[in-house]
Amino acid sequence: MSQTRFAESHEWVRLDGETAVVGISDHAQNALGDVVFVDLPEVGREVEAGESVAVVESVKAASDIYAPIAGTIAAVNAALVDNPGQVNSDPMGEGWFFTITPRDAGDIGKLMDADAYARHAEAGH
Amino acid sequence: MADTESLLETPLAGLHREIGGRMVGFAGYAMPVQYPAGIIAEHQACRAGAALFDVSHMGQAELRGEGAAAALERVTPAEIQALKPGRQRYALLMNESGGIIDDFMVANLGDRLFLVVNASRKAMDFQEIGAALPAGVSIVPRPDRALLALQGPGAEAMLAPLAEGNVAAMPFMGVLESPVAGVPALITRSGYTGEDGFEIGIPAEGAEKVARALLAAGASPAGLGARDSLRLEAGLPLYGQDIDETTSPVEAALTFSLGKRRRIAWDFRGAERVREELDSGPKRLRVGILPDGRQPARAHTEIALGGSTIGEVTSGGFGPSLNAPVAMGYVARAHAGDGTALELMVRGRAIPARIAPTPFVPHRYKRTAGASA
């Protein structure tokens, strides 16, 4: 499994074989608070980098989740429908949202690494 | 983050930060939206035990002078003159066109009335009330006072050992002046969660002492997030969202707050509209709404029926006690019956929902002194 990269909009992405797994960062889940509902994209949908593809609802607000890279939605984490709290309890693991077949796997490497993202999050973005 | 610098703080700001409160701007104040436990845990702590809320941002004022009760009736349709000493009541501050300027609580302290109004409206309220008062009656804002809400079935057992007076004997909407943790306090048995509980008014300088004593007694700190989900499950309207200067007491389903004598005399501001709507029915009504599934429908969500818009959600979110989304909003009166199926338009999709009676979670107020609720 490759290194995890992060988008400015707080999604993480990690190449796992042919597809890239996407979720939201620990910083993001903490800022959202208790997640109660996740609206996942349709499998097969073609998405552009930065496109709003999912919605995560906490007790107090709804927030968009953006595709960190361009590609095609390959799978969604159906377990989140019944157990959206996984986004809070294990954001970087069981709380993943969807996988993308990248248009260009090289796009992942252009995103922030963990250290750069930590500085980005700490700066209050 | 920078904009929190211009916000006012309550006397408990230091305590909130010390125990991990996440501060947000609300009605001009830096207030905790949640603590590390999170909104759902704070909500459930209130339903199961007791939660402590800082509501010091709310407006507090005394109404002093001969005839204060009659004077207040100039701006509210509630029965104030018959409000007994030691009792509190919910009331509406009305405008001339029958809209609601604010909703507030009024307590009779014997020699004066004591008001608690919404933070976002306090300047306007005090101005409106003050302008309506006759010579000899005055409104005295009390920004020197803090206000705590201790809410939940465990509240009485936590407060009783700290209070000199007999808080256990207080009925719902009862009022007692008694020291708490050695600090002189004005205690009312009321709140905004649907649970039994107390609101405790104290001098600002004593607020931290009382709050720490209640936390040490086992109360869970709770923020604005849980306050909102609790009041929503309890079916209680929030000023600025569910009621405002365009909504009437009839539309807002708050006619219980109109005094019987007042509804004979029709001697209050906006009486013409209220009377007309009571006679002929209002155009729209505030109702409870339960969406199917788990997806919340937020404020301003369109409510549709058969492809036509019939109303709008005014408050909506997730109800942790129901483990389901809950909402309230206004619909055309013809469609306001309990059980009516409707659709909520969320991000372009129609979510099936139905109108449901409120409260969604039954109120557990202490109706009779000494009896177990």
For chain B, give the mean pLDDT: 96
B297 and B228 share one domain: no
Give yes or no for B45 touching A (CB within 8 A): no
Say yes or no to pLDDT of B188 above 90: yes
CA A32 to chain B, closest CA, distance in angstroms equals 10
Say yes or no: domain A5-103 is CATH 2.40.50.100.
Answer: yes
Q: Which residues of A touch B39 (CB under 8 A)?
A: 33-34, 58-60
What mean pLDDT comes out for the span A56-72? 95
CA B345 to chain A, closest CA, distance in angstroms equals 14
- Residue pair B51/B219 in contact (Cβ under 8 Å)? The answer is yes
Q: Which residues neighbour B149 within 8 Å (Cβ) at sequence distance 6 or greater?
A: B52, B53, B55, B191, B192, B193, B197, B198, B199, B200, B227
- For residue B275, being part of any structural domain is answered with no
Q: Which residues of A touch B225 (CB under 8 A)?
A: 33, 59-60
pLDDT of residue B373: 38
B192: domain range? 2-56+144-233
For chain A, give the mean pLDDT: 95
How confident is residue A2, by pLDDT bands cut at 50, 70 and 90? low
Q: Which residues of A touch B2 (CB under 8 A)?
A: none
Q: CA nearest B117: which of B189, B62, B182?
A: B62
Name the residue among B39, B228, B347 with its Cβ closest to that of A34. Answer: B39
- For residue B134, being part of any structural domain is answered with no
Say yes or no to pLDDT of B343 above 90: yes
Using a pLDDT cut of 90, give the percent of chain B over it. Answer: 96
Question: Between the CA of residue A114 and those of A25, A49, A66, B342, what are the distances in Å?
Answer: 10, 19, 18, 46
CA angle in degrees (0–180, nearest 5) for B313-B315-B318 = 110
- For residue B224, being part of any structural domain is answered with yes
Q: CA nearest B107: which of B10, B21, B6, B189?
A: B189
Reading the block at residue B246, the tokens are 């365009």
pLDDT of residue A96: 98
B163 and B49 share one domain: yes
pLDDT of residue B304: 98
Give yes or no for B38 touching A (CB within 8 A): yes
| CB-based contact A60 B325, cutoff 8 Å | no
How confident is residue B367, by pLDDT bands cut at 50, 70 and 90? confident
Which of B22, B23, B26, B39 is the best substitution to test chain A (most A C-beta atoms within 10 A)?
B39
B36 and B164 share one domain: yes
Q: Which residues of A touch B351 (CB under 8 A)?
A: none
How confident is residue A60, by pLDDT bands cut at 50, 70 and 90? confident
Rounded to the nearest 5°, which phi and psi values hold at B314?
-110, -25
Say yes or no to pLDDT of B2 above 90: no
pLDDT of residue B226: 98
CATH number of the CATH domain containing B318? 2.40.30.110
Give yes or no for B204 touching A (CB within 8 A): no
CA B323 to chain A, closest CA, distance in angstroms equals 9
CB atoms within 10 A of CB B237: 22
Say yes or no to pLDDT of B40 above 60: yes
- For residue B292, being part of any structural domain is answered with yes
- Which ranges of B251-345 would DSSP assign to H, the alpha helix? 262-265, 271-280
Say yes or no to pLDDT of A125 above 80: no
Say yes or no to pLDDT of A75 above 60: yes
Reported as a single tens digit per residue, the pLDDT across B113-167 is 999 999 999 999 999 999 999 999 999 999 999 999 999 999 999 999 999 999 9
Reported as a single tens digit per residue, the pLDDT across B318-339 is 999 999 999 999 999 999 999 9
B180 and B33 share one domain: yes
What mean pLDDT comes out for the span B280-286? 97
Say yes or no to pLDDT of B372 above 70: no
- For residue B325, being part of any structural domain is answered with yes
Q: Which residues of B touch A34 (CB under 8 A)?
A: 38-40
| CB-based contact A59 B347, cutoff 8 Å | no
- For residue B99, being part of any structural domain is answered with no
| CB-based contact B320 A59, cutoff 8 Å | yes
User: The tokens 């007694």 sit on which residue?
Assistant: B217
- For residue B94, being part of any structural domain is answered with no
Count of domains for chain B: 2
- For residue B111, being part of any structural domain is answered with no
B318 and B179 share one domain: no
For A33-50, give one letter per residue: b (16+ CB within 10 A) or e.
Answer: bbbbbbbbbeeeeebebe
B203 and B339 share one domain: no
Q: Which residues of B touch A61 (CB under 8 A)?
A: 298
* Domain boundary residue, one of B203, B233, B263: B233
Coil/strand/helix, residue B335: helix
B50 and B150 share one domain: yes
- Residue pair B62/B112 in contact (Cβ under 8 Å)? The answer is yes
Q: Using CB atoms within 10 A of its CB, is residue B343 exposed (0-12), middle (13-18) or buried (19+)? A: buried
For A4-31, give one letter per residue: b (16+ CB within 10 A) or e.
Answer: bbbbebbbbbbbeeebbbbbbbbbbbee
Q: CA nearest B100: which of B234, B237, B235, B299?
A: B237
Judged by phi (left if over 0) then psi (alpha if -120 to 50, else beta), residue B251 lies in: alpha
Write down the number of H helices and E strands in chain A: 4, 9
| CB-based contact A37 B325, cutoff 8 Å | yes
Coil/strand/helix, residue B302: strand
